[in-house]
Structures are given as structure tokens and as C-alpha cells.
Amino acid sequence: MGRKLDPTTYVKKGPGRKSRKQKGAETELAKFLTDGERDLLPIERAARKQKKLQEAMGQESDDDDEDDDKRKSGDEDMDEDDTVQANLDEMDKFILPGAEEIAKEGVLLVDLQTIHQRIKDNVDVLSHFATKREEGKERTEYLSLLKKDLSTYYSYNNFLIDKLLDIFPVSELIDFLEANEIQRPVTIRTNTLKTRRRDLAQALINRGVNLDPLGKWSKVGLVIFDSSVPIGATPEYLAGHYMLQGASSFLPVMALSPQEGETVLDMSSAPGGKTTYMAQLMRNTGVIVANDASADRLKSVVGNIHRLGVTNSMICNYDGRQFPKVMGGFDRVLLDAPCSGTGVISKDPAVKTSKDESDIQRLAHLQKELILAAIDSVNAESPSGGYLVYCTCSIMVEENEWVVDYALKKRNVKLVQTGLDFGKEGFTRFKERRFHPSLKLSRRFYPHSHNMDGFFVAKLKKFSNTVPTTAVEKGKVDDGPSKAGSKNKSKKQKPVPGKPAMSQKATANGKPAKSIGKKTTNPSTLKKSEKPTGQKKAKIAKMDGGTVKVDGELKKSNTVKTEGETTKELKEGSRFEKKGDKQRKSPTQSKKRMGKNKFNKLKKLLKKEEVGQ
């Protein structure tokens, strides 16, 4: 059988029998030759030395000749290389295709390799435009060709390419487009309410999952490289030990940093990743209100909350714009606003062609309404909070910096540090627009820079619960108070329910009626038992702003007041007026009001009744 070899232990062995014999023979031969040289005569020794010297001199001369030949050939090679390089430079010089070539490309099949190479050359020229541009060509010509090629090669519409060129430099834009063609790595978030990241990682490794920690910035994230089992169906997943969540979704919760015992609102909570992350940071204390406008999407929130063992959350289904009317006074609010999704193109490639200018403007308007509602839901007097985090999965300036800058003007809020150590600063200037300087405190994240979905995060601190009234809002009333001599403005304003009514001067035929003063008789002072007599029907008048019944017709009368009092009330009433609340009456309706003649008749009638009694 032979002896067993232990592969873990290695024993170094010495030379064998044959090698020892060979070594001994070489030693003896060296001794023999040395002894022979000692027996040589002095003349023989000198002859040997001379021969060695001649051989050495001959080798040196040969080396010199070879060096000369090499120098000559090297010079020739350098000349050839220079000429070849010059020819290559001439060949590599990018030349803009003519109109005919572009027209042919529109008809014939497109070679994507040719377009890709042309994009590279075009970007190189634009990066070193002063030295590599073609004579007589302008930068706009290169840019127009680049836009066309990018739209063709990466399958984007022209609108989106224009927007991206406004945000990124040309070289960085290529990196962004290439990153959108690659899926982001799968990441999971450890649920610290049930387990620790170390234990979860070991359990998943035992199931054949190859994973690593997400990064130094996250203590609960793990990135999955490959797995022999489905990540969304392991026993650990079903037990609620972790949740599948993108790395960029960690950021807004980390920026908000909810504390134990606080009251927190997640205004757009579906599918529940951020809500459950806040719950584990709060250790199931305090209260989390998870709201979403879509009742169908709230089903996923309910499922994730039950699976992950969250017990401090309540779920509601309201439009976020109306939420301050439902409840308020929150310590912290998280608003992950609906957006165009230009940061998650790798997940939803349909965004490349489905978005246009109208979509961006519509979403930006919705986001402005939502951020004002979110700010109104925050309690500025909270001892530990008063913070709002606004985030989107879009990289458009119209949906990010523009919205936050609008909120800074409309509410008593200021931007503060997000607490995130990485990410690029937000824009303080974009094209012709200039934003608030503090917007550099916001953070932008890109797929080509941070290997996560495109994201925007801004953290605001509310320092007063009062809503500022700007000069624009004070003069915002379109239909001002009625004035003398104006036919259109003399028409009666429709009263707004729940708001103080605007008093007006008594008018007749579009002109202001004279103030009656002391001579005016108030019929409300008449006794109930006293009734008017005569052949005509009973006529009851009420002069204190109520209804007037004349000949069986109900009519509205204006309060008779002095000119100074009326002007004062008009000014006070204009504060509460809104655009849609004031509706002008048609000319036919305006004729129904009490005219000057009817007013005089009614006054005479009342005097006769008093005299007759």
C-alpha cells in the first residue's frame, strides 16, 4: 500500500544519489584543470592572455558596428513612425458628414457600430474644440449631429436628450447613458427589529448567496451579486428579516433621521420600504402615519408592515394636497413626490420615449402643491423635529431645485445639511435661472457616479407656523371692489359662504345712491302687530342688508352706509376674496336690483303708513 502522504505537511527532501555523484565529478574536474594550468610555461601563459585580449577587442569593435547600424535603422524607423503617425492623424481627424450622407442614413439601414464610433469622435472634438474642430464649422453643428446620433443609438426622444445635455457635460452624458443600459445591483435592507446584519449575511451565505456589505455609509444594507435561490422567496424573507430595497431609497430616511417617540408622516408611502425603515430606526416607538393617494398601492404597504413586524404605524388614504385639512402637527415629514422617473431608466426603459415637456410641467406643478402641504403638516414648535425631507427619483431641475426654491419663497422654511457624506451638490443656477444659494446643501445622486438610481434629496427646517403673505399674494385679487362710475364693477358680488360679506353702497342704474343718513327709516323698528293697509298687496321692506319683498318679489338690498364706512369695509373684505369666488352677474340679473324710483316709492309708502297710524 505504501505510506500515506499528508497533503497539509510538506517535507523538503535533499539531492538524490545521481545528483551527488554528478556534483562530485564536477568538483574533481575543476581541480584537475587548475593543476594543469599551474604546469604551463610563462610563454604559454602570455600567449593565452594575448589571445584573450584580441578576442575581447574584436567583440568591442563588432558591438560598435552593430550600434551604428542600430542607430541608423532606429532613425529610419522613427522617420517611418512619424510619417505613419501623421497619416493616422489625418485619417483619425473627424469630419462632419454632409447633408447627403445624413439623408442616406435616414433611408438605408443604420450601422450602430459606425454611429457609436462617430459619437466617440464627436465627443472628442467637442472636448477639445479649439484644436480639433473642422475649419468653418460651428459648435452647434457638432451638437446637432451628436443629439441625432445619441437619440438613434440609445433610443431616447429628442426632448430628453436636450434636457440631459443641459444638465451634464458632453463626456459625462455618455457615461450617464451607458450606466442606464446596465441594471443596478440588487440590494436588501436588514430589518433590525428581528435580526442583525451579521446573522442575516451568514444565513444567506449558507443558502448559496454571494453578498457583500453595501458600503460604509449604510449599517443595514447588503448587496447581492448572485444567488442560487430566489432572494424574494427565502425563509428569511418570508420571516421579515430583510426587505428588497434600492440603495437610493435608504438616503431620504437617513437624511430625515426620525427619533424615538416622535410623530412622523410619510406622505407617499407605497410600497412601504421607507415607512418600515423609519419604524426600525424609531424601534417601534412613537407614531408613523403612512399615507398614499392610491388605495391599490396601499395593499403592499399593509403586507410589508405585517411581514416586518412594524407596530407603530397607521395607514390612511388621502390626497396629499388636502392632508393638512385632515391632521397636522407632525415632528417630521417625508415626501417622496411622484416624478418623471428619469433617474430609474435602467428599471423602466419606457421613460426614454414616453416623457415630454407637458409631463414635466404637470408633475412640477403637482410637486409644488405637495411640498406646500407637507410643510403645512410640520409643527415648527416641535422640540426635537420640525423637519421635512423632499426627494424624487428624477434628475430634472424642474422637479427638484425649482420646487424647493418655490417652497423657500412661499413658506417659513430653510435648507439644512442632509447628513449624507457623499453625493453631488444641487444646482444654484441652471441656464437663465438663479436659485437660492442654500440649494447647494441638497444632494444629487447619479447611476454613473454612485452606482445607484438617480435621486435628489433636500432637507428643510420649518422655523415658523405662520404662512407668509407676500406682496404678490396681497394684490392677487383679480376682480377688485366696485368703484363709482364703473359699469362693469358696479355689479353685485356673489357672497362667499363662511367668509365676511362685502358691504357695498346702494346703487341705482349703475350710479352710487346718495346717503340717506338720519332720514332713513328702519322698518325693523315697527311692531309685529302693525301691518300696512291699502288697496295694494302687503309690501314688507327690510333695509339692513336682508331681503326686500316688493309686489311679491324677493329682492336683495344693499346696506345704506356712509361713503367712508363703505370704502373701509371694501378694503377689509378684499383680503378674503379669491379668484373663483367672485362671479359677475349678467345685465339682466343686474336689473333685478332695487332702482332709485322703487327705493323712493318704498320710502314714501312707509312714511304714509306711519302718518296714517
Residue 293 CA to residue 303 CA, distance in Å, equals 17
Confidence of residue 10 (pLDDT cuts 50, 70, 90): low
Long-range contacts: 290-295, Cβ < 8 Å, 24+? Answer: 290/266, 290/314, 290/315, 290/316, 291/265, 291/266, 291/267, 291/315, 291/316, 291/317, 291/318, 291/320, 291/323, 292/268, 292/317, 293/268, 293/317, 293/318, 293/319, 293/320, 294/270
Read off the pLDDT of residues 447-472 as tens digits, 9 standing for 90 and up.
999 999 999 999 999 999 888 876 34
By C-alpha distance, which of 297, 301, 458, 492 is closest to 388? 458
Read off the pLDDT of residues 38-89 as tens digits, 9 standing for 90 and up.
455 566 666 777 777 777 777 666 656 566 555 555 555 555 555 544 444 4
Percent of the chain with pLDDT over 70: 63
Query: Is residue 574's pLDDT more than 50?
Result: no
Give the 3-state secondary structure of residue 594: coil
Read off the pLDDT of residues 141-156 as tens digits, 9 standing for 90 and up.
888 888 888 988 899 9
By C-alpha distance, which of 235, 313, 315 is closest to 276? 313
Average of per-residue pLDDT values in the chain: 76
Query: According to the model, what pLDDT value does residue 260 have?
Result: 94
CA dist 167 → 164, 171, 398, 415, 429 (Å): 5, 12, 11, 22, 11
Single-letter amino acid, residue 477: V
| Dihedral in degrees, nearest 10, Cα atoms 190, 191, 192, 197 | -20
What cell numbers appear for 442 in the block? 441638497
Check: CB of residue 563 under 8 Å from CB of residue 507. Answer: no
270 is in an annotated binding site: yes
- Classify the C-alpha dihedral 319-324-329-334 as positive or negative: positive
Question: 154 CB contacts (<8 Å, ≥6 apart)?
Answer: 177, 180, 181, 352
230 is in an annotated binding site: no
272 is in an annotated binding site: yes
Q: Is 121 exposed, middle or buried (0-12, 13-18, 19+ CB in 10 A)?
A: middle
DSSP sequence for 113-145: HHHHHHHHHHHHHHHTHHHHSPTT--HHHHHHH
274 is in an annotated binding site: yes
Check: CB of residue 191 under 8 Å from CB of residue 308. Answer: yes
Mean pLDDT, to the nearest integer, of 106-115?
A: 69
Read off the pLDDT of residues 175-211 as tens digits, 9 standing for 90 and up.
999 999 999 999 999 999 999 999 999 999 999 999 9
Confirm whether 393 is a catalytic residue: yes
407 is in an annotated binding site: no
Check: CB of residue 331 under 8 Å from CB of residue 382. Answer: yes
Query: According to the model, what pLDDT value does residue 89 have?
Result: 47
Check: CB of residue 271 under 8 Å from CB of residue 301. Answer: yes
Give the 3-state secondary structure of residue 556: strand
What is the pTM for the complete model shown? 0.63
169 is in an annotated binding site: no
42 is in an annotated binding site: no
Read off the pLDDT of residues 538-569 as tens digits, 9 standing for 90 and up.
333 344 444 444 444 444 434 344 444 444 44
Only one residue has cell 342688508, namely 545
Read off the pLDDT of residues 20-29 as tens digits, 9 standing for 90 and up.
655 665 565 5
Check: CB of residue 236 under 8 Å from CB of residue 205. Answer: no
Q: Which of 316, 339, 391, 393 is catalytic?
A: 393
Residue 308 CA to residue 242 CA, distance in Å, equals 8
Check: CB of residue 277 under 8 Å from CB of residue 253. Answer: yes
Check: CB of residue 404 under 8 Å from CB of residue 415. Answer: yes
Read off the pLDDT of residues 305-364 as tens digits, 9 standing for 90 and up.
999 999 999 999 999 999 999 999 999 999 999 999 999 999 999 999 999 999 999 999
